[in-house]
A and B are shown apart, each in its own frame.
Chain A
C-alpha cells in the first residue's frame, strides 16, 4: 500500500496569512493526488485534483503543486472560513490512501 504522510499534523496561523501543507507519498504517484477540506461535523469538500487542478467553484486562493512523491497545498490570505482540517489522497493505485490530516487552527 502507498503511505501518505502529511506535515505538519497541526498548524496555527492568523487571518491574512499564507500557509503551506505538505503531503509525501511512500512511492511515486505521478500527479494522482487530491486535496480535501473538512469542517467539524461536515462531509469533506473537494478542493484540488490531479495535484494542481482546482475543482469548480473553489477559490483561487487554494493552489496545489507537486508530482511524484512530494506535493503541497498552499492557501493564501487565510480567512476565518478556511480554518479546518485538510487531507490529501492518492488515487494512483488501490487502496486509495489518505494522509492523516492537517488541522489548521486560528492563532
Chain B
C-alpha cells in the first residue's frame, strides 16, 4: 500500500535551517511528483511547492523563494524539503503529499522555531 513516512519533530532557533524528509513506498517513486504543504497552529493549509520526482523540476511559493529547496533521492524513494533562515512564523506542521491530486499524505512533521 502507498505510504509516505515523514521524519520526526524538530525544534530550531531563529535563523537556523531544517530539512524534513518524506520516504515513499508502495508505488514507483518517480511516477509521481511530491508537493509540500504546511499548516501553522490553528490555521489553514498553505501550499509551499512541488517537485517532479521524474525530472527534479521544482515550483515554489513566491513567499518562500530563496529560502526553500525541495529535492528527491530516487535511490531511496525519499523527498526532502529544506527551509532556511527560519523565523517564528515558520512554526507549523509540514506535510508531503503525492501527485497532482495529493491522493496520499505523510503524517506531518512539527517544526517549532523558538529562541
Report which A residues bind B (CB closer than 8 A): 1, 34, 36, 38, 43-46, 49-50, 55, 87, 89, 91, 94-101
Number of A-B contacts (CB under 8 A): 55
Interface of A is mostly: loop
Q: How large is the interface on B (under 10, 10 to 19, 20 to 34, 35 or more residues)?
A: 20 to 34
Evaluate contact between A98 and B46: CB separation under 8 angstroms: yes
Evaluate contact between B102 and A98: CB separation under 8 angstroms: no
Cα-based distance from A94 to B100 in the complex (angstroms): 12
Cα-based distance from A36 to B62 in the complex (angstroms): 23
Given contacts A95-B62, A98-B47, 12 further A-B contacts (CB under 8 A): A43-B95, A43-B105, A43-B108, A44-B37, A46-B101, A55-B103, A89-B47, A95-B47, A95-B59, A96-B47, A98-B37, A98-B44
Nearest CB in chain A: distance from B13 CB, A:
26
Q: CB < 8 Å: which of A44, A89, A97 contacts B95?
A: A44
Which of B95, B102, B103 counts the most A-chain CB atoms under 10 A from its CB?
Answer: B102
Evaluate contact between A100 and B44: CB separation under 8 angstroms: yes
Cα-based distance from A97 to B46 in the complex (angstroms): 7
- Which chain B residues lie closer than 8 Å to A43 at the CB level? 95, 105-108
Interface membership of chain B positions 90-101, coded 1 if the CB is closer than 8 angstroms to chain A and 0 otherwise? 000001010011
Cα-based distance from A96 to B50 in the complex (angstroms): 9
